[in-house]
Amino acid sequence: MLVLLVLAGLCFALYANLGLAKPPALWKWMDIVGEGGTAIMAGIWTLLILGSRPSGRVTSLLAGGLAAIMLGAWVDCLDEFFAIPHDQYWDNLLESLLTPGGMLTLTIGLYYWRQEQWSLNEHMQKRERLFREHRSFDRITQLANADYLRRQLRLEQKRQPQQSCALILLDLDNFHQISRAHGAGEGDRLLQAVSHLLLLNLRADDLLCRYAGDRFAILLPGATPAEASALAQHLEKAIASLAHHTRHGQRLDLSARTTWGIPDCDEESFLSKLNRNLESLASQRDSGLANA
């Protein structure tokens, strides 16, 4: 906004020094109000965009386009106060570049904003099942809990008994050591980051729950065993590549282990079996580290 105000002041100085001031009798008040009002409103919109959005490409394009439109309307308004000699064309160049260029930049920004909204809507759709049922959220991750997962497992088995569904359990490695070393607050931030990462890697119909502690459950309606296995491996790689930093800037090396299965018994027995598989994987990992 400061740069924009400086540019507006430079435009005024340019017109005042190179143009001839018109007497008030020649001022066209309708044009002044219309063009000046457009400049003011475009400036207000620019301020609102900069103050309400995070920095990035979309914000820069939207604010830049509105700023150019503001300057274009401002130089149009200055034309009502200063007469520019006919042998000079710089004023026409400014008017022909600023407003159309600003509209083009704004249009590109709106295009990317539309893509951004699609991504956000898809992200929110993955939580739709939770919102629609009006269940309580986990305080830290805003995900459903294990009780809700059990209900959804029962519903999936009753609703489509002939169609398979799969469930993945994912457990973060060394989470308790991270919490002890960096504090419970950093542990909560890590759980939030992991939950967002997992959501971004799931389909719209999949359900992500915080099962317990640092353990997450992903229900995959209609998924085949091959799809469940591939997704479990993909999620492990995604967490291993997550560049999560503490508030003090220290990057945490993360890893996770997963197990998956197709429900073939009641939900309690099925979940107990997957939990035992995870514990077995943890024991194997610890045994391997001890041998190393």
234 domain-assigned: yes
Look up the domain containing 106 and give its range: 2-125
pTM of full prediction above 0.85: no
Q: Are residues 144 and 265 in the same domain?
A: yes
State residue 258's pLDDT score.
94
State residue 128's pLDDT score.
57
Q: Are residues 282 and 146 in the same domain?
A: yes
Q: Are residues 85 and 152 in the same domain?
A: no
Hey, what are 73's tokens? Answer: 């309307």
- Cβ contact 241:256 at 8 Å: no
Euclidean distance between CA atoms 66 and 99, whole angstroms:
9
131 domain-assigned: no
State residue 134's pLDDT score.
46
State residue 133's pLDDT score.
53
Cα separations (Å) of 9 from 2, 73, 74, 78? 11, 14, 10, 11
pLDDT tens-digit readout, 122-146? 666 655 555 555 455 778 888 888 8
| Tokens 């950093």 belong to residue | 186
Q: Are residues 67 and 151 in the same domain?
A: no
Q: Are residues 167 and 26 in the same domain?
A: no
Euclidean distance between CA atoms 252 and 33, whole angstroms:
57
Give the DSSP H/E element, type plus range, for residue 237. helix 225-240
Sign of the torsion angle spanned by Cα atoms 83, 89, 91, 92? positive
The 10 Å Cβ neighbour count of residue 29 is 10
Low-confidence spans in the chain with pLDDT less than 70: 122-136, 160-163, 285-292
Answer with the one of 92, 125, 158 that is the final residue of a domain. Answer: 125
Q: Are residues 185 and 228 in the same domain?
A: yes
pLDDT tens-digit readout, 37-71? 988 999 899 999 988 888 888 999 999 999 999 99
71 domain-assigned: yes
Give ∠ CA 136-116-185 in degrees, rounded to 5: 45
Report the CATH number at residue 193.
3.30.70.270
Q: Are residues 239 and 181 in the same domain?
A: yes
